[in-house]
A and B are shown apart, each in its own frame.
Chain A
Amino acid sequence: MQLTLWTYEGPPHIGAMRVATAMEGVHYVLHAPQGDTYADLLFTMIERNKKRPPVTYTTFQARDLGGDTADLFKSTAWAAYERFKPEAMLVGASCTAELIQDDPGGLAKALNLPCPVVPLELPAYQKKENWGAAETFYQLVRTFAGPHAPPAGTKREERAAGTKARCNILGPTALGFRNRDDVKEVTTLLGELGIEVNVVAPLGARPSDLARLGNADFNVVLYPEIAGQAATWLQRTFAQPSVKTIPIGVGATRAFIEEIAAISGVDASRFLTPDASRLPWYSRSVDSTYLTGKRVFVFGDATHAIAAAKVASKELGFTVVGLGTYSREFARDVREAAKLYEVEPLITDDYLEVEAKVHELQPELVLGTQMERHIAKRLGIPCAVISAPVHVQDFPARHSPQMGFEGANVLFDTWVHPLMMGLEEHLLGMFREDFEFHDDAAPSHLGPSKGRQPSASTEAAPSPAASPTTTEAQTQLTETLAMSGWSLEAEKELAKIPFFVRGKARRNTEKFATEQGIATITIETLYDAKAHFSR
């Protein structure tokens, strides 16, 4: 048994739902109790889908147990077929149904439904959401592409001269982080390179499209957590190589283009110009100097975390102080990546462990999932979301990819923006007594900050770090009221220091004075302290 407050991933059947919901013409019959229907809201509320997920639940109850749960499954599957007439049906069990061992696969087979049925075995007590999505996608790909496989060992036919190279884009699902926008971005990029997209799957594909997967020359695997397994099988079965680079960031996008050029033989040189993305120039522009060495903590699924660490370090000049993932299946890759930054990799799906780590490292920016957003909020640290699990605000109305050159622009904006806002927050704290600010004014980028409302105070865990911003602001306020220990001249000198670093200067000077046993701070002390801390 594992004590869990928040989970990074749902159970594996949620992964299956993400695949089914992404596709067209597929229906999933899930043997599950009524409460499991909550999963619909993930898609209809968080992703704002206009359609219900194509899932029918048997919603068996205690009174059905031991009696006719198997019959209930069969009648439900038939009714679902009759109503939805899908091209293919997925059948499976959720955690509870797994325990009653009705074997939905066997039952569905016995029904002889007039459409292909793909039985899913997703062990709910061992595996999780991403694994479930990967397994479901793999089973679907095998079922529909399998019959078109050439005899083992067949070489791929050379493409006829003058025809465009063709690829599949694999991995985007429903509820994926910015998958919708990444697909658009990468499709456009491929189009510009002169490459035809054969099938995008699972997002938007029908079972009949999966049957055509073999027609492509190679695969672009955007999300290895979801499509890695299927891509490996396609490579083996159709001799289709996979493009391994994930085009997140300018460097990776260039590497991605080069890899595609190598596989397909297109000339990509005109896409490798420095101006393809604004990120390099924005990063070099002098006002970005203050980004130098900002300490950043990165956590997410393996693909996004590794990519984010690289962009943070090499394209924004941050210092990666922590890197981790909840995807144990990809722990090795993250361990490798962590070596580059000489940090201890954090491989865990325990939210409390991540929280403790952030607390310990006190980074200046957190790049994580919606869980880390909450951790960061609590600790008063700026944060940007880089990976699933995500919430409704991570499905923006505007086009907002993570991948490609435009994706790099988006990364620059969304990661730097909270830091700018961090500055604003300090100002707010500093001018708390100013008439324009009042005690309830929260940093604007944090939204309505629950932590400062009395209603949430009952929630506050006995943690010293419950609201660091407020405490800090209060300290500053007290300091303003009583500048004890400062000589008049030193105080005047301090007032000349730009307001946005004044608080820090004061704190440092006082700390220095205390350490040195200086009773009255003079101009001399102020500059001694400055010299001391700038070493």
Chain B
Amino acid sequence: MTVLIPTRLSTANLDACPSTTTAAPSAERFVLRERGQREVFCGLTGIIWLHRKIQDAFFLVVGSRTCAHLIQSAAGVMIFAEPRFATAIIDERDLAGLADCNAELDRVVTRLLERRPDIKMLFLVGSCPSEVIKLDLSRAAERLSREHTPRVRILNYSGSGIETTFTQGEDACLASLIPELRRTDAAAPKSLLVVGALADVVEDQFKRIFADLGIDSVAFLPPRKAADMPAVGPNTSFLLAQPFLTDTARLLEATGAQRLLAPFPLGAQGTTGWLKAAADAWNIPAEHFRQVIAPAEKRARAALEPYRLRLAGKRIFFFPDSQLEVPLARFLYSELSVDPVEVGTPYLHKQHLAMELDQLPETTLISEGQDVERQLDRCREAKPDLVVCGLGLANPLEAEGFTTKWSIELLFTPVQGYEQAGDLAELFARPLVRRTRLEV
């Protein structure tokens, strides 16, 4: 017997696609703000996917043994070859003033660059200890850049846990690139910039769609090679591919570039809304847009359908982690009929998330920040069917009888775009399917 479950949004009615309407000024929605123990990684963690993305960049954390241990542990399975990240561990000699921190850093950087002649861009990444002792990494980066130019560009950003949570590290990294970008003036042709690290395969899919739509000048930030940095200026329009890029977006806007109001490209609807925002900015006729996206969108919907039957009506609870929580909840709710009970996020950027927030039902509790013990209490009380949480909480919750999905996988797996919509749904369905299979 097939159960027919209607999707929450009429999918036939694309003209009502959120990207085309100005976000309706909804009544201010209640947000639970908490300030207790956070159970979220710091921004250093972003290095794990960023170093894979920019293939000739190296990330040097200036920090403590804890920082080195964090990256190593979060990377999970250690990477087979020598990775393109490392830690310059501050020791007691540096702190006691026996060694000059700046001279030490220069020595470490020189040794590193000798070892890795393939490196074209080096990020000095600040940590809690480097910030507390006020080691000025921007000056160090300038000094070292002068010394190693033109072979290597040296930049800096902070991934410290006192300043950044988890994915904010990527924001800080990309923000550090903006001043480096070549500027275009008002005479430059119109160009599109996609901002936020995406898997190469996803980038290529989007590139093809943009080309079919007739948008030729498309660049991605971060690029795959340090030399391929895009240019920006008043004729640049940008689309955020990730919801956590607050500072990057602000700095881009300061160059005169315009942010296109769009949902995030998760699921079929999300991807269509996201592409539509660009299509509209390029005045692409609606019919042509439909024609271009129709086959992929249809494939995505077909891929989602079996998961919708499986997931519809399930109650989901998000612990704060990647800041992807709100767009994911939107996807699960509007495309798979999942019921979000609580959607926690480390930081809620209402502007960037306007379209997604509007689509979440009133019954969903949005929480910002964290008090992990109280949130666990709420979770136990709510008894959701699926809990999305970090690695530290997953197994203990499973042992309590909950079904969980680790949120970090959502960052390491290609999930954006039409062709990945089914994979994204599958990530949520798999833990539930597993439960039904096991008889032990």
User: Do the two shown chains form a genuine complex with each other?
Assistant: yes
* Residues of A that sit less than 8 Å from B by CB: 1-7, 9-11, 13-14, 33-42, 44-45, 48-52, 56-62, 65, 76, 79, 83, 94-96, 99-100, 123-126, 128, 370-371, 374, 377-378, 391, 450-451, 456, 458-463, 466
Minimum-distance CB pairs A-B, first 8: A35-B42, A40-B392, A35-B161, A33-B161, A50-B399, A95-B64, A96-B128, A461-B82
Q: Which of B78, B95, B163 contacts A125 (CB 8 A)?
A: B95
Nearest-CB distance from A449 to chain B (Å)? 8
Nearest-CB distance from B14 to chain A (Å)? 36
Nearest-CB distance from A444 to chain B (Å)? 17
Nearest-CB distance from A467 to chain B (Å)? 10
Bound-complex Cα distance A59 to B160 (A): 12
Q: Would you call A48 and B395 a contact (CB within 8 A)?
A: yes
Nearest-CB distance from A316 to chain B (Å)? 28
Q: Would you call B163 and A99 a contact (CB within 8 A)?
A: no
Q: A7-B65, A61-B163 are in contact. List 15 more A-B contacts (CB 8 A).
A: A1-B89, A1-B108, A14-B69, A34-B42, A35-B45, A41-B390, A57-B37, A60-B162, A62-B162, A62-B163, A391-B77, A451-B80, A456-B79, A456-B81, A461-B116
- B 48-87 binary contact with A (CB < 8 Å = 1; else 0): 0000100100000010111111101110111111111011
Nearest-CB distance from A63 to chain B (Å)? 8
A sample of 11 cross-chain residue pairs with beta-carbon separation below 8 angstroms, ordered by A number, consists of A2-B91, A3-B86, A3-B88, A35-B43, A37-B38, A38-B69, A41-B73, A61-B163, A99-B133, A100-B132, A128-B65
Q: Which of B41, B79, B90 contacts A35 (CB 8 A)?
A: B41
Question: Which chain B residues border A44 with CB–CB below 8 Å?
Answer: 391-396
Q: Would you call A96 and B132 a contact (CB within 8 A)?
A: yes
Question: Which chain B residues border A100 with CB–CB below 8 Å?
Answer: 132
Question: Which chain A residues border B129 with CB–CB below 8 Å?
Answer: 95-96, 99
Nearest-CB distance from A261 to chain B (Å)? 42
Question: Which chain A residues border B52 with CB–CB below 8 Å?
Answer: 458
Bound-complex Cα distance A79 to B79 (A): 39
Bound-complex Cα distance A2 to B64 (A): 10
Question: Which chain B residues border A377 with CB–CB below 8 Å?
Answer: 80
Question: Which chain A residues border B73 with CB–CB below 8 Å?
Answer: 38-39, 41-42
Question: Which chain A residues border B45 with CB–CB below 8 Å?
Answer: 35, 38
Q: Would you call A378 and B81 a contact (CB within 8 A)?
A: yes
Bound-complex Cα distance A284 to B248 (A): 67
Bound-complex Cα distance A123 to B66 (A): 12
Q: Which of B37, B76, B99 contacts A56 (CB 8 A)?
A: B37
Q: Would you call B393 and A38 a contact (CB within 8 A)?
A: no
Q: Would you call A126 and B128 a contact (CB within 8 A)?
A: no
- B 339-360 binary contact with A (CB < 8 Å = 1; else 0): 0000000000000000000000
Question: Which chain B residues border A39 with CB–CB below 8 Å?
Answer: 73
Q: Would you call B395 and A50 a contact (CB within 8 A)?
A: yes
Q: Which of B39, B64, B95, B99 contacts A96 (CB 8 A)?
A: B64
**Which residue in chain A gives the minimum CB-CB distance to B74?**
A38
Bound-complex Cα distance A141 to B391 (A): 32
Question: Which chain A residues border B95 with CB–CB below 8 Å?
Answer: 99, 125
Nearest-CB distance from B192 to chain A (Å)? 26
**Which residue in chain B gives the minimum CB-CB distance to A2?**
B89
Q: A125-B91, A459-B81 are in contact. Are A7 and B72 (CB under 8 A)?
A: yes
Q: Which of A4, A49, A124 contacts B395 (CB 8 A)?
A: A49
Q: Would you call B91 and A1 a contact (CB within 8 A)?
A: yes
Flag whether B228 is at the interface (Cβ < 8 A). Answer: no
Bound-complex Cα distance A460 to B79 (A): 10
Bound-complex Cα distance A233 to B239 (A): 64
Flag whether B260 is at the interface (Cβ < 8 A). Answer: no
Bound-complex Cα distance A19 to B131 (A): 30
Which residues of B11-44 are within 8 A (CB) of A? 36-44
Flag whether B94 is at the interface (Cβ < 8 A). Answer: yes
**Which residue in chain B gives the minimum CB-CB distance to A36?**
B66
Question: Which chain A residues border B77 with CB–CB below 8 Å?
Answer: 391
Nearest-CB distance from B280 to chain A (Å)? 36
Which residues of B260-317 are within 8 A (CB) of A? none
Question: Which chain A residues border B150 with CB–CB below 8 Å?
Answer: none
Bound-complex Cα distance A458 to B53 (A): 10
- B 102-121 binary contact with A (CB < 8 Å = 1; else 0): 00110110011000111000
Report which residue of A7, A76, A126, A460 has the largest number of chain B beta carbons within 10 angstroms of its beta carbon: A7
Flag whether B101 is at the interface (Cβ < 8 A). Answer: yes
Q: Which of A4, A48, A52, A378 contacts B393 (CB 8 A)?
A: A52
Question: Which chain B residues border A33 with CB–CB below 8 Å?
Answer: 42, 128, 160-162
Bound-complex Cα distance A56 to B89 (A): 25
Q: Would you call A52 and B81 a contact (CB within 8 A)?
A: no
- B 244-264 binary contact with A (CB < 8 Å = 1; else 0): 000000000000000000000
Nearest-CB distance from A110 to chain B (Å)? 21
Question: Which chain A residues border B81 with CB–CB below 8 Å?
Answer: 378, 451, 456, 459-461, 463, 466
Bound-complex Cα distance A457 to B108 (A): 26
Bound-complex Cα distance A125 to B65 (A): 8
Q: Which of B65, B86, B116, B373 contacts A124 (CB 8 A)?
A: B65
Question: Which chain A residues border B118 with CB–CB below 8 Å?
Answer: 462
Q: A374-B80, A378-B80, A460-B81 are in contact. Are A61 and B162 (CB under 8 A)?
A: yes
Bound-complex Cα distance A2 to B79 (A): 21
Q: Would you call A50 and B396 a contact (CB within 8 A)?
A: yes
Bound-complex Cα distance A377 to B80 (A): 8
Q: Which of A10, A58, A123, A461 contacts B37 (CB 8 A)?
A: A58
Question: Which chain B residues border A128 with CB–CB below 8 Å?
Answer: 65
Nearest-CB distance from B45 to chain A (Å)? 8
Question: Which chain B residues border A60 with CB–CB below 8 Å?
Answer: 162
Q: Would you call A45 and B66 a contact (CB within 8 A)?
A: no
Bound-complex Cα distance A275 to B200 (A): 59
Bound-complex Cα distance A94 to B161 (A): 12
Q: Would you call B80 and A36 a contact (CB within 8 A)?
A: no
Which residues of B144-168 are within 8 A (CB) of A? 160-163, 165
Bound-complex Cα distance A86 to B239 (A): 51
**Which residue in chain B gives the minimum CB-CB distance to A75?**
B36
Flag whether B92 is at the interface (Cβ < 8 A). Answer: yes
**Which residue in chain B gives the minimum CB-CB distance to A7?**
B68
Bound-complex Cα distance A59 to B402 (A): 26
Q: Which of A6, A76, A99 contacts B132 (CB 8 A)?
A: A99
Nearest-CB distance from A456 to chain B (Å)? 6
Q: A44-B395, A456-B81 are in contact. Are A59 and B37 (CB under 8 A)?
A: yes
Bound-complex Cα distance A126 to B68 (A): 15
Q: Would you call B132 and A5 a contact (CB within 8 A)?
A: no
Nearest-CB distance from A17 to chain B (Å)? 12
Question: Which chain A residues border B107 with CB–CB below 8 Å?
Answer: 1
Q: Which of B38, B66, B79, B394 contacts A34 (CB 8 A)?
A: B38
Q: Would you call A1 and B92 a contact (CB within 8 A)?
A: no
Q: Would you call B86 and A4 a contact (CB within 8 A)?
A: yes
**Which residue in chain A gives the minimum CB-CB distance to B104?**
A1
Question: Which chain A residues border B161 with CB–CB below 8 Å?
Answer: 33-36, 59, 96
Bound-complex Cα distance A56 to B45 (A): 21
Which residues of B389-421 are within 8 A (CB) of A? 390-396, 399
Question: Which chain B residues border A450 with CB–CB below 8 Å?
Answer: 79-80
Report which residue of B43, B88, B128, B392 has the largest number of chain A beta carbons within 10 angstroms of its beta carbon: B128
Question: Which chain A residues border B66 with CB–CB below 8 Å?
Answer: 10-11, 13, 35-36, 94-96, 124
**Which residue in chain B gives the minimum CB-CB distance to A47?**
B395
**Which residue in chain A gives the minimum CB-CB distance to B91?**
A125
Q: A36-B66, A459-B79 are in contact. Are A59 and B38 (CB under 8 A)?
A: yes
Q: Would you call B83 and A5 a contact (CB within 8 A)?
A: yes
Nearest-CB distance from A76 to chain B (Å)? 7
Bound-complex Cα distance A60 to B42 (A): 12
Q: Which of A51, A123, A124, A378 contacts B396 (CB 8 A)?
A: A51
Q: Would you call A36 and B65 a contact (CB within 8 A)?
A: no
Q: Would you call B92 and A3 a contact (CB within 8 A)?
A: no
Q: A44-B392, A62-B131, A65-B132 are in contact. Are A125 and B41 (CB under 8 A)?
A: no
Q: A14-B69, A41-B392, A44-B392 are in contact. Are A462 and B117 (CB under 8 A)?
A: yes
Nearest-CB distance from A227 to chain B (Å)? 23
Nearest-CB distance from A373 to chain B (Å)? 9
